[in-house]
Amino acid sequence: MKIFVESYALHAAPFRTPFKFGAAVIESLQVPVVRLRVEIGGKSGIGIGSMPLGNAWSYPGIPYEQSLAVMERLGARIRDTVDGMTGPDNISAMSDALRAVAFDERLRLQHEWTDLPAPIPDLCALVTFSPWDLALFDAWGKALGANTYTLLRQEETPSSRHFTTAPLAEVLSAEPSPRLAIYHVVGGLDPLTPDEVAKSAGDDLPDDLQGWMARDGLTHFKIKLQGKDPEWDYQRVAAVESAVMDQASRTGRQDDHFVYSLDLNEQCPSGGVLADLLERLQKDQPQAFARIAFVEQPTSRAFAGTPEENVSRAAKLKPVVIDEGLVDESALARAVQNGYNGVCLKTCKGLGFSVKMASIARGEGFYLCVQDLTCPGISFSESASLAARVGVDGLEANARQFCPAANAAAAQDHPELFHLAGGAVSAAGLTRPGLGV
């Protein structure tokens, strides 16, 4: 297989309202769009991959503008290195080779950039690499004239040093799921009711959770918690439950199946604190507790092996999924040793890696979910294409809340992916050659 760079460009995805990251106020995301041409067996296809540069998430602890500059420079180095690259015809092996390029260039850049306050994390390298990997898989399918997931179902079962893996024909469905519920993010400062709105964003989108429910028929909610303040977290879950049930009652939706996930953003001081919170919810807010599907990465992504990181007690109550910490198999193994029993897939870590992690999750019986990185446009379409094949009932779609204008072009091609009905979108149309987008 040989790959050529057709184009590589950064596009701005403007936020609905400016975001504050530390000392920086950010008005837009930087979103690379990669076009790769793949030649294999005398056939050729051009694929597209896109993913926001989530530098605040993947390279925390250093100034925002500096981490963004690192990712922009690393993306340019990947472009220069992979243009004309020759590798194995096996798609998984070629994906691994492309990933190795990104990690090697990361180390070279880190060596040259002598005043970086902290080493460039693996997660940062993965996010920068991911649009290249998505473009590779898209182009591979188009070159062979078939949907990428149809082709992947025929590939060998992934191998693992640590885990049992399931055959890809069992992991990936033959057809995309026709319905994917959308997890709506409920931030810690987000108004839940119209009475809580202090200042409107001034556009045609809702300003409070109940307004979003009325507009989109939402059923799934990702509740952002503080982690360090269990009393605040308990009260926040209770308040969301009250707002959701109040809106459901007023609109005759009491019988709807509402689902919550809890995201503690690595801020929980210990697994014991999380278990205490869940047990309190189970006792005092039993309906809200019953709606919780999973908990995202409550403790540090580092998995240093401290007793505080162990979440075994909490994981007996609800699945606890690895998110930020999932950068390779060894990290997953450390997480499992600490009691984690779920896996969060994100295309921002590469499609090949995500498919392998799905194989492990199914082989081991781990809980599986799909999240996004405020993915607008093509990047969301490609995230949805993965979710539609791995048997999850929903996924995040944060760009519709935070940078909706960046969805406009992709929504013309796939309106069913960007316009919610009953809190869900349809992925049934993602059957074209390549990733289906």
The enclosing domain of 42 has a CATH number of: 3.30.390.10
Domain hosting residue 238, numbered range: 168-425
What confidence score (pLDDT) does residue 22 get? 60
State whether 118 and 259 are in the same domain: no
**45 located within any domain:** yes
Are residue 243 and residue 120 in the same domain, yes or no? no
pLDDT-flagged residues of the chain (< 50)? none
Q: What distance in Å separates the CA atoms of residue 434 and residue 292, rounded to the nearest whole number?
A: 35
CA dist 342 and 349 (Å) reads 17
pTM exceeding the 0.95 threshold for the entire prediction: yes
Exposed / middle / buried, residue 80 (Cβ in 10 Å: 0-12, 13-18, 19+): exposed
Q: Is residue 375 part of a domain?
A: yes
pLDDT at 255: 79
- The answer as to whether 17 is a domain residue is yes
Task: Choose one of 97, 114, 145: the last residue of a domain.
Answer: 145
Question: In degrees rounded to 5, what are phi and psi of residue 390?
Answer: -105, 10
Kindly state whether residues 295 and 411 are assigned to the same domain. yes
| Residue 35 DSSP SS3 | strand
CA distance 404 to 67: 24
Q: How many CA atoms lie within 13 A of 349 on its CB side?
A: 26
CATH code assigned at 380: 3.20.20.120
**Residue 178 sits in the same domain as residue 133:** no
H helices of 188-229, in order, are 209-216
393 C-beta neighbours (distance < 10 Å), count? 17
Whether 336 and 302 share a structural domain: yes
Domain count along the chain:
2
